[in-house]
Amino acid sequence: MKISQKGLYALQAMMMLARHHDQGAIRIRDIAYEEVLPEKFLELILLELKNARLVESVRGAKGGYQLRRPPSEIHLSEIIRLIDGPLAPFGDAEQLRSLIDRDLEHRALYQVFLEVRNAAAKILEHTTLADISGENLSKPRKRPRQKKNERASVLPMVVSGNLRKGRE
Amino acid sequence: MKISQKGLYALQAMMMLARHHDQGAIRIRDIAYEEVLPEKFLELILLELKNARLVESVRGAKGGYQLRRPPSEIHLSEIIRLIDGPLAPFGDAEQLRSLIDRDLEHRALYQVFLEVRNAAAKILEHTTLADISGENLSKPRKRPRQKKNERASVLPMVVSGNLRKGRE
DNA sequence: ATAAAGCCTACTAAACGAATAGGGTTTCTG
DNA sequence: CAGAAACCCTATTCGTTTAGTAGGCTTTAT
């Protein structure tokens, strides 16, 4: 899966809405300004997010956008799938399963593709806006406590020694 | 990371060359025929694989292509990075690390992207052509034995109960 | 009434993806 | 040594996608 510029904008906008959750509707202009996104393009993205029922709009003067669910119940996978399509590196999961069944010659290759998509899904289907938007101001009633540097579960802290091999 | 049609062709061609490893050079036409790939397009791909020194060519009549290393020493990540670029879902690993350092607002998001890329890298940097090309005829001197259904390490056997949620 | 918002469709320029075309160069073989 | 058989390499094409921009329409607060 490739995340496009548009996909990144969508994620950033959603993070911003998560930060300002329970502050009522936020205007497109304010989101665009705060996140430094092209306003008209953002408008299209929010429209899409609204049609997918991830956000809701308030029309007319004093209108704007807000999340339809609490940040802790919106997974990154939902946003990414909506804007950039399936998580699999090639085709989608269903297609890969079918190829694994039918294309004996390349079965093992598609199996690897499916493994990659499952690894991505595992992460993105378990990470929510609450995990990444730095707004544990709302309901942080889980786990003992953590002074600063919250969301320790999501940030693997340096991710450890990394197989680096030239490019990438 | 998104694997393009071209990337898939490259992987298929390499798998084919792996199967016919130690049989000398194979003509483009034969690869194209056996794998059912557009011949002229495949030619470009092989040229690229040659320039990246993953394969070598024999020119003139009776010429063709062959792997430069044994299949067990060619990782899928090498082919994918060459043809389709970095494994990260957005930018590349280096860029993501830099964004994690510099963009405090979106730090956690980029961290998630990096996790996804690391998960993909872990799989693709550890899977070789030998693992997926079904040619354990060469040097199968590892692990006790396995009658049929070899390469058990690579095929997670159904991948277990899968978080399925509508699309993907 | 009017201004402030979101709604929605259309358009565009540039880049990318997937090929195709065709002549050039090298090498085997008779 | 003359073909023919291969790979070599650059250019071109055509359709799609990406990343926007434009602008009028509708709804609502004041």
Walk along chain A (168 residues) in steps of 10 and give the mean pLDDT of each run: 97 98 96 98 98 97 97 98 98 97 96 98 98 63 40 40 37
Mean pLDDT of chain B, nearest integer: 85
Q: Can you tell me the distance from the alpha carbon of A151 to that of B48, in angstroms, rounded to the nearest whole number?
A: 43
Q: Do B11 and A134 touch (CB under 8 A)?
A: no
Q: Do B12 and A106 touch (CB under 8 A)?
A: yes
Contact between residue B63 and residue B96 where contact means Cβ atoms under 8 Å apart: no
Residue A155 vs residue B161, higher pLDDT: A155
Chain A residues with beta carbon closer than 8 angstroms to that of B99: none
Cα B133 to Cα A8, A86, A108, B12, B25, distances in angstroms = 36, 26, 7, 9, 17
pLDDT higher than threshold 50 for residue B114: yes
Residues of chain B by 3-state class (helix, strand, coil), percent to 5: 50, 5, 45
Closest nucleotide to A41, Cα to C1' = D20
Residue B8 vs residue A158, higher pLDDT: B8
pLDDT higher than threshold 70 for residue B2: yes
Closest nucleotide to A43, Cα to C1' = C6
B119 CA to C26 C1' in angstroms comes to: 45
Q: Can you tell me the distance from the alpha carbon of A111 to that of B122, in angstroms, rounded to the nearest whole number?
A: 15
Q: CB under 8 Å to A28, separation ≥6 — which residues?
A: A39, A42, A43, A46, A64, A65
List the one residue out of B96, B95, B84, B15 whose CA is nearest residue B52.
B84
Q: Can you tell me the distance from the alpha carbon of B85 to that of A18, in angstroms, rounded to the nearest whole number?
A: 32
Q: Can you tell me the distance from the alpha carbon of B85 to that of A117, in angstroms, rounded to the nearest whole number?
A: 17
Chain A residue with minimum CA distance to B90: A3
A54 CA to C30 C1' in angstroms comes to: 74
Q: Do B168 and A88 touch (CB under 8 A)?
A: yes
CA-CA-CA-CA dihedral for B55, B56, B58, B64, to nearest 10: 0
Mutate one of B79, B109, B123 to test the A interface: name it (highest A CB count within 10 A): B109
